[in-house]
Structure 1
């Protein structure tokens, strides 16, 4: 093993220079960031880790323990015999269909046998909103669906950020390195070796190896987007959230005006020409007193691994160019797509106790608005989320549409780990 790691380290050093000069801004991920990334993607797994009774039940169950030990041996074996391809090593961390279903079956047995496990589902999972789209399921089915969603998310992370498979939005969400390079192969193998020997004593939960590996891959690839700017309520949104309690929303037609982003396609511009137009359109609606607050939405999406956060830059522009008070601007610095623009805006309203029984006004350029109001967009939401984050009401103009937010927007989506 020592000789293998020395060889891999040598390859990494030789190819390190090749990684320089690509123009990427390397992110910083703290322990706090790693915890936020886990909580946002895998609330179920965090909740299990923090509940002593449930954690001990799952660690000591003979069937789940056997699954854990078998996977550990497979991973260790792949590291020892590693030659050139990461495919087998990555595969050893993933939950195959048969194993995934066996875990689901065992969880179903355990929840029926243990009242405290049922209480855990009701007191933790249901109240969290993290699995809001499963709220009509029985306790056992909610648990199983939440588990299978987490497992699918971990499999997706290892496929994309370990093996380099193309994600759904490959242009902006792909792996950060050349997965065929000796540098990256060496990094993945050494991280795997570290996780196996340094961390396996911390927990023997059946999902721990895959979870640790998934988080390590995101960390290695500087893909901590889900954690950036958190906690928002104590940072960028602090003034606006404090101001919300002073607003009489009954005097406005809409709870908020959501201005969609349109990211630049170069590494110099903070905002694109169309993005600036979207802001102008939103300001006109705000000045007409349609709503008391503006929500600007857009993350570190365009171009690939940009250092600029679109929502941050939109907020700056609103304050500097249009003199909008900071207390009237909420930002969503995480959205990477039109679907999550709507979903994340709804989350902001719910989490800050703004009623979602009042519609929001969504503002964007005519081309984007036309797509937003199309059935294709609604179908895309159903395909990617399994629900509609908001219901379209009226189109008021070629740049404005009324939407009614839906509580299902709280539902986690680890299939998109950069903005789950």
Structure 2
């Protein structure tokens, strides 16, 4: 029995405890990738890491302290079982409710408790998808893909260690699950949420400079919203559908009805493609159609039509466009009809929890008016690649 499974597990647990003791005594250092992901995905919880007094006050609340002790005991009982540890990182509904109700801050439009609830649900989504192996909502483009068991174990082990290794401005003193989730995303190289941020810089800088002092009343529409349709062929930068959308966009832009074109589409198809649809559409509009760069605004994160519109609304707010002014969605007739359908309303309610704006009226088979909603500003890490 000296070399049996129980003894090996005990030795592994002791070694892990020794490592974590050393780590706990180490200097907390900044990790710019983890910090950026934390701020982008979990703004309400991340703010606690920058306010030690608020973090201590939250942790010391009796109901929160009791709940956190129970979570700690659950993790400790897993010893060296990494699958058990990943499951123990997941927040139950009761635990999430206690923490969300206690988190201070302004939150989004629906208050700090609702925002904290979304963020805790986001942690659960990441742990389930990238740690436990649950199939994501869109398995063709999301998740870690197929990996061998040795790599899966390495990712879990590294996440477990990193969750306990001090990081400056983190909420590890509250609970390690947030940093565990960040480490799992990083291990899978799914840092999509912090690509091309801030959106007012980089390729968008010329358009944002032009937007300063813009007289929006001169135009019928505040922007033309051009949706991408991802290719299914490896190595293809633009799908045939997107090339059709670009011809529509160039024609409409030439009419002078809008000062900007918002090109929306991220790294969607096939999984983990190096091409962002928005960037490729921008390149084609400049090179093929001579559209000025200062009129083009890219939105390189959306992977679905729901988030095409939500993220376009966010960019319109950032540009300073009036939300009561219509935009014009340009896309192929099939996608345009889908956006106008009752099923799309249901899908928005199911996936976003609200409508990103008001659809209609229809201008042509390929053109729909769209008035964006400020509800689109809510951050929701339940989609950790595009919160």
Q: 1:339-358 alignment to 2 at 5 Å?
A: 339-358=306-325
Distance 1:360 1:196, change over 3 A: same
Q: What residue is the counterpart of 2:260 in the other structure?
A: 293
**Separation in 2 of the partners of 1:215 and 1:303?**
24
What's the offset of the Cα at 1:256? 0.2
Q: 1:337-376 alignment to 2 at 5 Å?
A: 337-376=304-343
**Separation in 1 of the partners of 2:329 and 2:58?**
45
1:258 aligns with 2:254: no
**Separation in 2 of the partners of 1:3 and 1:303?**
44
**Separation in 2 of the partners of 1:384 and 1:398?**
26
**SS in structure 2 opposite 1:404?**
strand
Q: 1:269-348 alignment to 2 at 5 Å?
A: 269-348=236-315
Q: What residue is the counterpart of 2:142 in the other structure?
A: 173
Name which of 161, 164, 173 aligns with 2:130.
161
What's the offset of the Cα at 1:380? 0.5
1:103 aligns with 2:103: no
- Alpha carbons 2:171, 2:178 under 8 Å: kept: no
**Separation in 1 of the partners of 2:251 and 2:169?**
58
What's the offset of the Cα at 1:195? 2.3
**Separation in 2 of the partners of 1:235 and 1:292?**
19
**SS in structure 1 opposite 2:203?**
coil
1:46 aligns with 2:46: yes
Q: What residue is the counterpart of 1:61 in the other structure?
A: 61
1:191 aligns with 2:179: no
- Alpha carbons 1:68, 1:204 under 8 Å: kept: no
More helix by share: 1
Distance 1:163 1:200, change over 3 A: farther
**SS in structure 2 opposite 1:232?**
coil
**Separation in 2 of the partners of 1:312 and 1:407?**
25
What's the offset of the Cα at 1:47? 2.0
Q: What residue is the counterpart of 2:189 in the other structure?
A: 222
Q: What residue is the counterpart of 1:267 in the other structure?
A: 234
Q: 1:130-141 alignment to 2 at 5 Å?
A: 131-132=108-109, 134=110
What's the offset of the Cα at 1:46? 1.7
Name which of 101, 114, 121 aligns with 1:152.
121
- Alpha carbons 1:260, 1:297 under 8 Å: kept: yes
Q: What residue is the counterpart of 1:88 in the other structure?
A: 84
Q: Deviation digits for residues 177-227 of structure 1, max 9, x if unmatched?
A: 42x612211331233034235569975543x31100111111011111110
Gap regions ≥5 residues in structure 1: 6-29, 112-116, 126-130, 135-141
**Separation in 2 of the partners of 1:407 and 1:202?**
29
Distance 1:349 1:380, change over 3 A: same
**Separation in 2 of the partners of 1:375 and 1:397?**
19
1:247 aligns with 2:243: no
**Separation in 1 of the partners of 2:51 and 2:336?**
45
Distance 1:194 1:243, change over 3 A: closer
**Separation in 1 of the partners of 2:39 and 2:254?**
38
What's the offset of the Cα at 1:325? 0.9
RMSD after superposition? 2.5
**Separation in 1 of the partners of 2:95 and 2:226?**
44
**SS in structure 2 opposite 1:296?**
strand
Distance 1:190 1:241, change over 3 A: closer
Say which is worse superposed, 190-199 or 282-291, in terms of deviation. 190-199
1:391 aligns with 2:358: yes
Q: What residue is the counterpart of 1:25 in the other structure?
A: none
